[in-house]
Amino acid sequence: MTQLALLIAALSTLLQGPQESPEVPNTFSSFETAHLSNGLKVWFKRLPDEPVVSISVALPFGADQDPPGKEQLAHFTEHMLFSDQPGLTEEEIKRQIEALGGVYNASVTADRTFYFVRIGKEHALFALEWLYRILAPHAMSPEVVEGQREPVALEVRARPRQLFDWIWALYLNPPVLRLPGFWEREFGVETLSSRDYYPYVSLYSIDSDDLRWFYETYYVPSLMTLTIIGDLERDSVFRKVDETFASLPQGEEPDTSAVPIDPNRYRQSIFWVYRSNVYYNSRFKFYNLDAEREAMLIFLARFLSKRLNDELRFGEQKATYGIRVGIVKRGRAAYLYISGGIKEEEFDYARGVVKRELEALRAGSLSESEFEADRAAVARQLRVTNSSSEDLEGWVRGYFYDPRIHSGFPDLVARFDSVSLWEAQAFVREHFVPERQVLTLIRPHPINQILLVFMVAAIVWMVVQFAAGWMIQSVDMTRIRYVARFRTPRLYRLATSLLLLALVAILGRTLVFGFEVLVDRVLLRLDSFTLQWSAYGAMLAVTVLLSVMVLAHIPRRLLVFDDRLLIKYLSFRSVSIPASEVRELSLERFSAVWLTKRLWKCVPLALGLFGPAVYLRGQRGWAYYFNVRDKTELLRLLEDIVPHALAAGASDSDSEDPRTPG
């Protein structure tokens, strides 16, 4: 009998056909918006049968408001609010929520600060009062400040700079030699990358007054958004809100009149690195974002994500594991990105699909039925993936945190359902334009790494050989009569070496900065591996040649021939002084060279403090002031070669006879 009943029921179901499942509720709808007497905005949403209540407070201010030299002030303020309450330790404050099974935390990003508590609905009113005490004015007592400084320092890894840190901060990466980062270059927004950010110094320079100033300036109720989501009775929630958050002191809103700057130009950057696929990242920038544009951006991000992944990941020609389409905000500035790793052999196809999808919206070639089907799909997904209080809390944290942009909680599901093909097309035509696009491509390097090493070595070898052929002079060594190595005191050699090293370091860093500017403004925009990497090879060649040239200006020894003197340098170069052009050769002390015009166009390799050194001056070019192992022997040898210079030296100076040992 039972089996017969089951069979009849099954046949009845088949005859009736498939039954429509009940529609997933729209949790974005029916948010209540209220404004307290102090200006604080409250969003309340009752979610029947939701066991967890989410309570959060968002502020549209964060690390971007840190004054120079006081970086981490916004972060430090957030730490202080969890610890500085009269009569309670930080552990006791923490235990009040955790003992009831709740979780809490806060986050500070560049443009927002977000506090939240998640707890069972039976403890929600207590959690609401607890969060109020967190956000209420704090004394910022010096003792608590010092107690919280170390946890913040540990979190941001702040420590005193050591040798390599100073080299990095002052030489390798000083602010004056930094190229603008993305936000600064594309939006005119100052970031930490443009500052000399020293976490240890900035953190330990923050005191109680700084923390009170930041709180009083930016923790203004009229710029706060309190959001309460869960299965709670409305009247009891608002009674508790009136008892707590309504008592926050009203403050003056800070000046936020600065708006992002649009450079109004297309930019592309193309790299070749060793990777397995092509990384594609196309960003479209938006300035002075408002609620309507943001809602349309969110829709288009999900709409394009579905369509691109349907074809590039799940279609027959699988070009990628996945294409990501999302939005990044910073105050009123934002960009929509389309990015992902794409198979190299499928890259042209995938890039064409992205262009085709945007062009279909821009030109209006997408059919109405196709648009409505995909729009309905993303709207259903939005319903399904945002059913809990925590899901909705995430939208406040990520998008709806600024009350100057969002007065009411946006009903995204209703907005998705109402977007027309015409609206989407008009929006894309207006905003998805080349002047707002930043394209980054990172392609796989086509040259084997071992081969690249050999190519680098070949460039270095060829440049060195070129320099050698250019600078080495042909000399008949059969006529050489004497070789003397220049001798310098150790301390003097150390000092001059350090001075030379500093000069080379400054010039080298300046050269690198020039290369960086060239790469950023010219080379990265070239979609040609041959041109781009040929330029990199030329930069390497210039660097090697300049290095050789530096060594070619450090004198090493003196060679004496029958008819000339030859100054040999560390690398290849030599300077020949014909005997007839030697105008002065004498022994001079410190004051006769260092304190006179003789030092002009002179290479001083000696000090002459404890005895005279040899002063050699040619008719053209430079003079040399140096010591050798045996000055007497050298000068006696030179009597036959440059007697006129010895006589000139004897008559022009008050030093002793050059043939007399020093």
Of residues 288 and 654, more confidently modeled:
288
Instruction: Write down the pTM of the prediction.
Output: 0.87
Residue 4 pLDDT exceeds 70: no
Q: Which of 191-195, 197-201, 272-276, 295-299 has the lowest mean pLDDT?
A: 191-195
Residue 9 pLDDT exceeds 60: no
260-to-183, 184, 372 alpha-carbon distances in Å: 9, 9, 35
- For 435-475, write each residue's pLDDT tens digit: 999 999 999 999 999 999 999 999 999 999 999 999 998 88
Report the pLDDT value the prediction gives residue 651, as an integer from 0 to 100: 52
- For 415-439, write each residue's pLDDT tens digit: 999 999 999 999 999 999 999 999 9
Q: Give the residue-averaged pLDDT of 609-625.
A: 90
Q: Give the residue-averaged pLDDT of 489-517.
A: 93
- For 214-264, write each residue's pLDDT tens digit: 999 999 999 999 999 999 999 999 999 999 999 999 989 998 767 889 999
- For 306-331, write each residue's pLDDT tens digit: 999 999 999 999 999 999 999 999 98
- Residues of the chain with pLDDT > 90, as a percent, come to 83
Of residues 3 and 450, more confidently modeled:
450
Q: Which pairs count as long-range contacts for 116-120, CB under 8 Å and 24+ apart, including other chains?
A: 116/54, 116/55, 116/56, 116/57, 116/393, 116/397, 117/54, 117/55, 117/56, 118/52, 118/53, 118/54, 118/55, 118/389, 118/390, 118/393, 119/52, 119/53, 119/55, 120/51, 120/52, 120/53
- What amino acid is encoded at 32 in this protein? E
Report the pLDDT value the prediction gives residue 14, as an integer from 0 to 100: 46
Q: Give the residue-averaged pLDDT of 105-118.
A: 96
Q: Which pairs count as long-range contacts for 499-506, CB under 8 Å and 24+ apart, including other chains?
A: 500/550, 500/554, 504/550, 505/171
Quote the CA–CA distance of 347 and 226 in Å, as a whole number: 46
- For 588-604, write each residue's pLDDT tens digit: 999 999 999 999 999 99
Report the pLDDT value the prediction gives residue 505, as an integer from 0 to 100: 93
What's the residue count for the chain? 662
Q: Give the residue-averaged pLDDT of 266-284.
A: 97
Report the pLDDT value the prediction gives residue 8, as an integer from 0 to 100: 52
Residue 152 pLDDT exceeds 50: yes
Q: Residue 603: name the closest of 634, 621, 581, 625 by CA.
A: 625
Mean of the per-residue pLDDT values for the chain? Answer: 91
Q: Residue 463: name the closest of 372, 537, 561 by CA.
A: 537
- For 14-68, write each residue's pLDDT tens digit: 445 444 445 789 999 999 999 999 999 999 999 999 999 999 999 999 999 999 9
Of residues 6 and 31, more confidently modeled:
31
- For 625-660, write each residue's pLDDT tens digit: 999 999 989 989 988 888 877 766 665 554 444 443
Report the pLDDT value the prediction gives residue 89, as an integer from 0 to 100: 85
Q: Give the residue-averaged pLDDT of 558-585.
A: 92
Of residues 389 and 639, more confidently modeled:
389
Residue 3 pLDDT exceeds 60: no
Report the pLDDT value the prediction gives residue 384, as an integer from 0 to 100: 95
Quote the CA–CA distance of 86 and 133 in Å, as a whole number: 10
Q: Residue 439: name the closest of 546, 576, 646, 279 by CA.
A: 279
Report the pLDDT value the prediction gives residue 87, as an integer from 0 to 100: 78
Q: Give the residue-averaged pLDDT of 554-561.
A: 94
